[in-house]
Each structure stands twice: as C-alpha cells, then as structure tokens.
Amino acid sequence: MRMRILNFLNRQQKPPAQKISVFCGEQSYDLAIVRHPRARRYTIRVREAYRDVVLTMPIRGNLADARIFAQKHVTWIASKVARLPDIVPFSDGEIIPFRGTPHRIVHRPQARGTVWVGQDDSGNASIFVAGNAAHVSRRVTDFLKREAKKALTEASRAYAAKIGVTIGRIGLRDSASRWGSCSESGSLSYSWRLILTPEFVLDYLAAHEIAHRIELNHSGRFWKLLDSMTPDRVRAEAWLGAHGNGLHRYGNVRS
C-alpha cells in the first residue's frame, strides 16, 4: 500500500519549470520555457498581466537553440519589458479606476469601519480605508471583490431573466486570459477586475456569459442573441481591447 501511495504521489509531481537567462548589456532577463506539442518554431512573448517573458518551443527543441534564439531577440525583449506599465499598488495616495472612474485611495487610520467610497475635501472621487496601514491593500482588494460580486450578480440575474434562463453559482477569479466563463450547468465565473471597468463593459460581459446559457459556443446564433440582449458589444470589446491588459497592473502582481 505504501509503495502504491508513493507511486501515485510521484505521478502527481510536476517537473520543475525550465528557465533560461539572456543578457542585454548588464541587464539580465529570465525566460520561462514552455514546450508545446503544436509549436513548430521558437516564439517569445512578454506577458503584461504576469510581467514575465515566455519562450514557447517545439517538444523536441533544445535549450541551447532556445537560448541562442532568445539572445538574438534580447533587444526586442528589453524594449517590451521597458514599456510595461508601472504597477499601481493598493496603497495610500494611489489612483485606481473604480467602475471606470479614477479614485484616489485615502487612508484614514482613525476612522471607524473598513472601506467606503466618497469625495475628499477637494471633491475628488476617493476610496477611504480605515484601520492599520498594513491592512490597506488587503482591505481595498476585498472591497473591490465584494463590489464586483454584487454588480456581476445583479447584471447576470437581470440578463438571465430577460432571456428566460437559470443560472448557478457565481464565482470570482483573477485570470489573465478570460474575463468570464459559463459552464454547461450554468455556473458563472468572472474576473473581479471587471469592477475597475466602466459600467457598460461589466454589463456587456455579464450579457456575454448569460447568452452562453442558450448557445454554449461562439456561433453566428450566439452573436445574434447577444446583440439582441445589449447594444454595447462593439463599444465594450473595443474598450477591453484598448485597456483590458492594463487592468492587471493594479494591486498585487501574479507570481
């Protein structure tokens, strides 16, 4: 029995991630290696949401060739990394979007409560945070997630009622690749960062996922249904295309 358990655990262990480093002058850049069965050549991408560099290579590729390829393109890597937007932490004095409107985080250590939205003495939109300074980031994050859950639940239920479908559990996540998803059972999942977007963007994403309750695909029927539910598809998708990646620079950086 002990041997079977050990064998099972060994099968569950993932091989350590491979990395290589290249240099541009005195600056080094680490690249995560991804071997992909459909890859036919070496490619490099700088992921804004994760603030990292990934080199994808064929299954039978070798690290020596990967390093040569990366070093050949190190100037491009350096340029892309240098253009990454600065991280904006959830800390006192920082400005973050909330429902599409810039809000300044204002720490009020002597105030009662946790987090609330209002205006400062100059009339500027603000997110006020009470309590110890060490808790500001966590409290702002929790506040944004609560607001996201509330807004997305309301929008989802409204669209579900509009087209006569039921929905299941609504969850939040922080994916860099998808803003929302809908399962066959009707469970919904959204990125909590949608609370940073203008209302028409959040509303459109809710409509998009609810439309999947009838068309669990992206066929012509799906888009026709979605367009009948909301007039904001083109505007919302254009906004996400222009500003979506930038939403990942707010708060904690993924590791």
15 with 115, same domain?
A: no
Residues of the chain under the 50 pLDDT cut: 5-6, 8-9, 255
Tokens 């050990």 belong to 6
Query: Between the CA of residue 123 and those of 10, 93, 104, 119, 120, what are the distances in Å?
Result: 60, 15, 11, 5, 5
90: in domain: no
111 with 174, same domain?
A: yes
6: in domain: no
Edge to edge, the sheet with strand 188-191 lists 170-173, 188-191, 180-182
75 with 111, same domain?
A: no
60 with 15, same domain?
A: yes
State the pLDDT at residue 10: 52
201 with 150, same domain?
A: yes
* CA atoms within 13 A of residue 214's CA, in its CB half-sphere: 20
Determine the structural domain holding residue 210 and report its residue range. 95-249
Last residue of a domain, one of 82, 116, 139: 82
The pair of three-digit structure tokens given for residue 208, joined into one six-digit string: 């998009």
- Buried-exposed string 150-186: b where 16+ CB fall within 10 A, e elsewhere: ebbeebbeebbeeeeeebeebebeebeeebbebeeeb
* CA atoms within 13 A of residue 140's CA, in its CB half-sphere: 31
Helix then strand then coil, in percent of the chain rounded to 5, is 40, 25, 35
Chain CA centroid to CA 201, Å: 15
29: in domain: yes
38 with 151, same domain?
A: no
Tokens 């996201």 belong to 148
CATH of the domain at 175: 3.30.2010.10
State the pLDDT at residue 50: 84
State the pLDDT at residue 254: 54
198: in domain: yes
CB 163 within 8 A of CB 214: yes
101 with 56, same domain?
A: no
State the pLDDT at residue 49: 82
Last residue of a domain, one of 50, 82, 114: 82
64 with 143, same domain?
A: no
3: in domain: no
5: in domain: no
State the pLDDT at residue 81: 94
Burial of 44 per CB tally in 10 Å (0-12, 13-18, 19+): buried
115 with 224, same domain?
A: yes
105 with 209, same domain?
A: yes
Indicate the DSSP class of residue 178: -
pTM: 0.81
State the pLDDT at residue 255: 44
CA dist 166 and 212 (Å) reads 11
* Residues making up the chain, counted from first to last: 255
Structural domain count of the chain? 2
